[in-house]
Amino acid sequence: MKNIYLNIYKANSINLKKAKNYINNNNVIGLPTETVYGLAANAYSNKAVKKIFKLKKRPNYNPLIIHFDNLSNLNNDVIINNNFIKLYKNLCPGPITFILKKKKKSKIATSALAGNKTVAIRFPKHKVARNLLKSLSVPLAAPSANISSKLSPTSAEDVFDEFKNKIGFILNGGKCDFGIESTIVDLTSKPSILRHGIITEEKISKILKKKLKKKNKKKIKSPGQLLFHYYPGIPVFMNKKLPKENGAFITFGKKYKNRKNYFNLSQKGNLKEAANNLYKTMRKIKKQKYKSIAVCKIPNFGIGQAINERLKKASYK
């Protein structure tokens, strides 16, 4: 069979050097992280960051997450605080993003921040992402590697499906461990969750030894948190008992039968496993030409909150 994935590269030391050159020449690459694949570029270069926005067709008011290797490289860009230090010590590197205040002297490209005075920072755990970050002298701006409002990619092949040959270089780090995007916690005032993820509100609250502030539903705090997002390309319906005609049914737990159009996120009823299978399964269903996706009720606690948050946006009308 003809290999169509000519821009996917094995993450060995030679290709990591090539990736480093891409970044240093202000080009964009596909990068594996433990959550989802990112579209990464030099965070200090407006020219590089603008390429990300163009490729993703991302509205310019939606800021990017800036990825760092460790604490010591942060100093010139953001103002850190005690809540941040506590969470960093317990959870980093890992699938969590922090919103902090920007320092005046920060070199982060204004386009990456969409003009905001705050910065979203993250320390990815994936070995390939870490090795690349360690080899660079700049942080990486990296949103999920999908066209704006679509599903995030969880493998190098998904990134290729999204951008084909529009990006020159995709580092292959295998399938993502978690399969959904990082938890986002705003630490610029009283801590609050802006996006749920694998690291749950309960866990953050336990580390900080305080309750988190409830999200103000009317005010969208994350400037790019759109109501319609994670769209698989066919309509999605939540909390259903059956699929629609010619539709697929996403199920959870052992009470569901095995049918051709039934796709179980976790037979064991494990929410972490279900989150990992969510985007993968929606992509598979779309490829199999089903006309819609009905999803059964998914428990709304812990990681279930992250799953339901995404399903709600995918089914938004």
Distance CA 246, CA 260 (A): 11
Nearer to ligand TXA, 183 or 292 (CB): 183
Q: Which stretch binds ligand TXA (CB under 6 A): 117-125, 163-171, 200-208, 209-217?
A: 117-125
Applying CB under 6 A, which of residues 101, 127, 168, 223 lies at the interface with ligand TXA?
223
Choose among Mg ion, ligand TXA, none what residue 182 binds, the Cβ cut-off being 5 to 8 Å by kind: ligand TXA
Applying CB under 6 A, which of residues 142, 151, 274, 306 lies at the interface with ligand TXA?
142
Q: Which stretch binds ligand TXA (CB under 6 A): 16-24, 62-70, 248-256, 264-272?
A: 62-70
Q: Which stretch binds ligand TXA (CB under 6 A): 12-20, 137-145, 261-269, 294-302?
A: 137-145
Distance CA 131, CA 161 (A): 25
Kindly state the smallest distance separating residue 218's Cβ from ligand TXA, in Å: 16
Question: Quick count: other Cβ atoms within 10 Å of Cβ 266?
Answer: 19
CA 133 to chain centre: 17
Choose among Mg ion, ligand TXA, none what residue 224 binds, the Cβ cut-off being 5 to 8 Å by kind: ligand TXA
Choose among ligand TXA, Mg ion, none what residue 119 binds, the Cβ cut-off being 5 to 8 Å by kind: ligand TXA
Applying CB under 6 A, which of residues 97, 172, 264, 281 lies at the interface with ligand TXA?
97
Q: Which stretch binds Mg ion (CB under 5 A): 139-147, 218-226, 259-267, 298-306?
A: 139-147
Reduce the DSSP state of residue 290 to 3 states and report it. coil
Binding to Mg ion, residues 261-280 (CB under 5 A): none
- For 302, phi then psi, to 5°, come to 55, -130
Give buried/exposed letters for 30-67 (b at 16+ CB in 10 A, else e): bbbbbbbbbbbbbbbbeebbbbbbebbebeeebbbbbb
Distance CA 89, CA 71 (A): 10
| 118 binding ligand TXA? (CB under 6 A) | yes
Provide DSSP, 144-188.
Answer: BSSSTTBPPP-SHHHHHHHHGGGSS-EEE--S-SS-SPPEEEE-S
Nearer to Mg ion, 179 or 243 (CB): 179
| 144 binding Mg ion? (CB under 5 A) | yes
Nearer to Mg ion, 123 or 252 (CB): 123
